[in-house]
Amino acid sequence: MSATLEFRAETRAWLEENCPAGARGPGPIHSGSTKIPLTDRDTILWKERMVEKGWTAPTWPAEYGGGGLSHEEYMVLISEMRAIRARSPLGGMGLSLIGPTLIELGTEDQKARHIPRIVRGEVAWCQGYSEPSSGSDLASLRTRAEDAGDHFVINGQKIWTSGAQYADWMFALVRTDPDVPKHVGISFVLLTMDQPGVTVKPIRLISGESPFCETFFDNAIAQKADLVGELNQGWTVGKRLLQFERGSMATLVGGAAAADAGPSLAGDAKKYSGEENGRIADASLRQRIATHEINDRAFRLTQRRTAQEAADGKTPGPATSIFKMYGTELEQSRAQLLVEMRGSLGVGWSGDGFSPREIGETRGFLAGRAASIYSGSNEIQRNIIAKRVLGLPD
């Protein structure tokens, strides 16, 4: 038996024995936040077992608590988790964004202090990038960080800070030299959210939820030991983190498979619009669903190919530039189909006439409209692809 087949057999047996029934299929995924207590017994048990195995971050170095798996082993783990519909034991920006950045660019002290806590699910992170007047032109940010000896004093504001109300730490871009070209005088710092100088105000959206926040800094503190990279060279660090974000967008963040979201589009279409001879009755809807599923499958295969290239030591290619843009459009397309096929049941906000899932997907459709704006609008993404990838003139 080859090493890969042996690893697959061992992984399959371990997952079958250790993944609780309540951790299979849709359900809660812990973000690591100390402000969101875990109450579901199976979710807690699943996280604890995967932490002990190192599989909350399966490809990270074992010295920091990761699994130390090769890319081939990682893909085996993913496929075996999908086979039993095991969901991720842990999620969040610690695993997908700041963790990989620190492993690559952080000091040994930063890695030792932050990485094990991320792996163990003991901390949640948020991203301090966008500002009220610095969204698409991020380099124009104005939040200041002044040198105060062994720490920086930070004043300013960030906006659209996802999950800031639940985060324990923030990674942020701040201006440390206002007298140089805008891309040069920026530094990348880490700071705790639980300090007097940080105020968070959730922003209520049309969906009724508040996943984004305004974050205000009034003499907040970031320690010099938590400066990532060189002073005034944070733009380079910030861009590298965004590459991790693009690479992980809509993928298996943290090394664990996302459980199936529920019935397929085709199954829902048959339920709500009827079927004929085992097929969706509405020919137009049938064609749109088929097109969506084909596009989604091609997208996932492209992501897998890019992940393999990265594992082989190659620099991420131009395909990563489409992940956020195209992935967002696919999700919006799916949400649109779900709402449309339900007819009047697709516009339910509340009430006994609608199931919890119908209400959730209506609200999800509304929330998803913002996805083509945040994390870099799709228009900006197209400009980047045109100029940086295709080399088209301005």
Going by pLDDT thresholds of 50, 70 and 90, the confidence category of residue 145 is: very high
Does the pLDDT at position 243 exceed 60?
Answer: yes
pLDDT at 66: 95
Compare 364 and 288 and report the one with higher pLDDT. Answer: 288
pLDDT at 259: 46
Does the pLDDT at position 253 exceed 50?
Answer: no
What are 337-378's pLDDT values in tens digits? 988 888 888 888 888 888 888 888 888 888 888 777 776 678
Average pLDDT of every residue of the chain: 87
pTM: 0.79
Q: What is the CA radius of gyration of the chain?
A: 22
- Identify the active-site residue in 73, 80, 131, 245: 245
pLDDT at 11: 97
DSSP notation for 19-82 = S-GGGBSS-------TTS----HHHHHHHHHHHHHTTTSTTS-GGGT-----HHHHHHHHHHHH
Give the DSSP letter of residue 86. Answer: B
pLDDT at 130: 92
What are 302-329's pLDDT values in tens digits? 877 776 766 555 555 666 668 778 888 8
User: Strands, E, within 253-324: which ranges?
Assistant: 275-276, 279-280
Where residue 219 falls (left for φ over 0; alpha for ψ -120 to 50; beta otherwise) is: left
48 is catalytic: no
> Rounded to whole angstroms, how far apart are CA atoms 263 and 355?
15
